[in-house]
Structure 1
Amino acid sequence: MIVALLNQKGGVGKTTLALHLAGEWARRGDRVTLVDADPQGSALDWSEQRAREGLPRLFGIIGLARDTLHREAPELARNADHVVIDGPPRVAGLMRSALLAADIVLIPVQPSPFDGWASAEILRLIEEARIFRPQLVVRFVLNRSAARTIIARETSEALADQDPPVLRSYIGQRVVFATAAQFGRLAFEINHESMAAKEISALATEIGRLTR
Structure 2
Amino acid sequence: MSKPKFLLSLFFCGILFFTEESFSQGVDTTYLPSRLLNGKVYKQDHGSLKGDPGYLFSTFSDSCEIMYDGVYFKKVPLFYDLIKQEVIYYDVDKNLPLSLNKDLISSFVIGGDKFIHVFSGEEGIEKGFYKVIFSGKEFEALVAISKSIKENSLSNEIVNEVVADSRHYVRVRGRFHKVTSERALSRLLKKDIKLDIRFKEEPEAYIKTFLSLVDHQ
TM-score (norm 1): 0.25
Structure possessing the higher radius of gyration over alpha carbons = 2
TM-score (norm 2): 0.25
Higher helix share: 1
